[in-house]
Structure 1
Amino acid sequence: MPGRRTLTRTLIAASLAACAALTAACSGGSSSSAPPGSNPEPAAPSAGSPYWVDPESDAARQVRAWEAQGRTADAKALRRISTRPVADWPAGDRPGPGIEKAVRGAAPDGRTVLLVAYNIPHRDCGLYSAGGAHDAAAYRAWVGEFAAAIGDAPATVVLEPDAVSHIVDGCTPAQHHAERERLLAEAIGTLKANPRTKVYLDAGNPAWIDDPGKLVEPLKRAGVAKADGFSLNVSNFQRTEAVKAYGTRLSGLLGGRVHFVVDTSRNGDGPLPGDRQQAWCNPPGRALGTPPTTSTGDALLDSYLWIKRPGDSDGPCRGGPDAGTWWPDYALGLARRAKA
């Protein structure tokens, strides 16, 4: 799965320098027993959530490994992740096989697959999650295979985290803006041709583009009106109430009835205080947020989702492995500190 992160910066050059200079060690050891006052067994994952839970996820395999090693307290804590639905980020030039496998797994119980399409050309401005399709033609083919693999199955797709926000903050060079917006609009059309696919175009987070008005025209040009809405806080840590307020404001600027979803995978304790430049990359002391559910109590907010896979590294910072790599000690810390 491709790793990804969200920049919160005022100057691109400053951010690049900070990324290169990361040397701090990340907290979280591999203790075999839970700390005093650790949380009880998580509730059933199906409550309020229509999404499929992958029985072969990294977290699920880690739980089984720790149980076999006698690390029962750690395994119990990690079931807070393994028993809940998290998004699949199909990697590589051929997304179809992985998506088809998820669709087959979800079908017997009528579950919805949760997917992230993350392959836009010039992705991530050359940083930790750099890459993406070679060119526009390759991207169109990739999205076509992505959509074909879903077919008639129920699916929710978060489309291209960071892509629009990187247009707004200047990280993506201006000569690529029009092509990117066109590709995003085409991708929405391709995915929405499926009868049961929902699509949410990513719109960053309130700590990144602090004025949501700056997102309005790029989102419109990228086809948000034909999507089911937009996504917020993907792979970030902003508190739910702040993100909801931002989403409601952005929805109003887009016409007042545009829906959205929020990534709550790691925002249980909010962002790392006092570190705007590096708060996005493996910050210590964070916690799982609200479990995935469609019961939000807000007419505009369709779902709380775990879009970032809790326990996957943001990149080689604070002692972490490469972006998208499973990091069990970090996952365990998130789970132990969870409040739900």
Structure 2
Amino acid sequence: MPTSRRTLAIVATVGLVALGGAAAITAVALAGQGATPPGHGTVIVASELSQATDAASRAAAGTPEQAAAEYLSAQPTAFWLTPEAVPPGDVAKTIGQLAAEARAQSARVAVVVYGLPGRDCGGHSAGGLDEDAYADWTREIGAALREAADVSPIVVLEPDSLALAPECGNVEERVRQLRDAAEALRSDDTSIYVDAGHSQWLPVAEIADLVSRVAAGGGIRGFATNVSNYNATADEIAFAHELAGRLDGMHALIDTSRNGAGSDGEWCNPPGALVGEPGGAIGDDVVDTNLWIKPPGESDGECHGGPPAGAWWPAAAVELTREVRAG
């Protein structure tokens, strides 16, 4: 994720956070047929496929690294579908396991689809598939999610892709790719949110235009904010409301996986970060809820001493969980 502008002062939103239950019930009632949208109290699967689970099994017994990994492995967190980790041909098996775990936990499946051609505009998370392979891969994901309809899948579609597009000079291409991906992924039982950056990135009018162009293709419930970033929840709630006001009733998800200490504007492995509110802690008439979308403990990239983007970083896991483990 590219450098964000400095975080503004925290906005008081205790009332918004507290709304939760009643607002979520209203959203479900309004949804009618089809997918049950996430809401206050939503629980997503904590999967044994996570890097945290693997790290906990490999860490030396009794160490802070093991304690941090064990804590994070137990937290409901979205699973990232990348072609590097879940290539074409492996999708059905992976989503099938996520769905089985979700049923056992009375939870929902939440996945992040992250494999666009030219991903991250050549940045820390560069990669992705070519056009034809990406189309086939997203169709494969869509088919597997339809098989998992009973666990009401939640999809976050291609973090950073829209907000980066103006800088990368590929707006038209990205809009088309995301519309096609949404079409491949859509079903009556899946809630899809296209990524919309965060409160300190593009101006609201600009990102609203980009999201609306993708949403015009259909199949999208709303947008996701703060994915892989650290902005305070209050700032993201205010941003989501402003953005939704330009998008005719679209809804939002907010990533709170690593924003417990707020942000100083640094997006790449900032020192002092903490895990944020657990998923399902908030909800109102615009913000369906918050989730842990970026898995805590995975590096943002080779900055501040971190390993490559997406790799497990034991020191970061220890730092992020220092207060919750101490408590």
Q: Give the TM-score taking structure 2 as reference length.
A: 0.80
Corresponding residue of 1:134: 130
- Is the counterpart of residue 205 in structure 1 residue 198 in structure 2? yes
**How far, CA to CA, are the matches of 1:133 and 1:177 in structure 2?**
18
- Is the counterpart of residue 336 in structure 1 residue 322 in structure 2? yes
Contact 1:114 1:157 in 2 (8 A): yes
Range 122-131 or range 94-103, more displaced: 94-103
- Pairwise mapping of residues 168-247 of structure 1 onto structure 2 (< 5 A)? 170-173=166-169, 176-193=170-187, 195-209=188-202, 211-223=203-215, 226-247=219-240
How far did 1:189 drift?
A: 2.1
**How far, CA to CA, are the matches of 1:157 and 1:133 in structure 2?**
19
How far did 1:206 drift?
A: 1.1
**How far, CA to CA, are the matches of 1:142 and 1:149 in structure 2?**
11
The residue identity in structure 1 corresponding to 2:129 is A
Contact 2:65 2:315 in 1 (8 A): no
Secondary structure of 2:198's partner?
A: coil
1:149-170: per-residue Cα shift (whole Å, max 9, x none)? Answer: 2223221110010111012xx3
Among 269, 291, 310, the residue aligned to 1:282: 269
- Residue segments in structure 2 that go unaligned for 5+ positions in a row: 7-39
1:273-297: per-residue Cα shift (whole Å, max 9, x none)? Answer: 3xx4xx111111100000111x414
Distance 1:312 1:77, change over 3 A: closer
How far did 1:63 drift?
A: 3.4
1:10-32: per-residue Cα shift (whole Å, max 9, x none)? Answer: 9xxxxxxxxxxxxxxxxxxxxxx
Distance 1:108 1:70, change over 3 A: closer
How far did 1:138 drift?
A: 2.1
Corresponding residue of 1:253: 246
- Pairwise mapping of residues 114-133 of structure 1 onto structure 2 (< 5 A)? 114-133=110-129
- Is the counterpart of residue 60 in structure 1 residue 46 in structure 2? no
The share of aligned pairs that are identical, in percent, is 36
How far did 1:258 drift?
A: 1.3
1:184-241: per-residue Cα shift (whole Å, max 9, x none)? Answer: 1122222222x321100000011111x2111122111112663111000000000000
How far did 1:70 drift?
A: 2.7
Among 304, 314, 337, the residue aligned to 2:290: 304
**How far, CA to CA, are the matches of 1:70 and 1:216 in structure 2?**
48
**How far, CA to CA, are the matches of 1:77 and 1:187 in structure 2?**
35
Distance 1:61 1:122, change over 3 A: closer
Pairs aligned (count):
284
How far did 1:333 drift?
A: 0.7
**How far, CA to CA, are the matches of 2:52 and 2:304 in structure 1?**
21
How far did 1:57 drift?
A: 2.5
Distance 1:324 1:230, change over 3 A: same
Contact 1:258 1:300 in 2 (8 A): yes
Q: Give the TM-score taking structure 1 as reference length.
A: 0.77
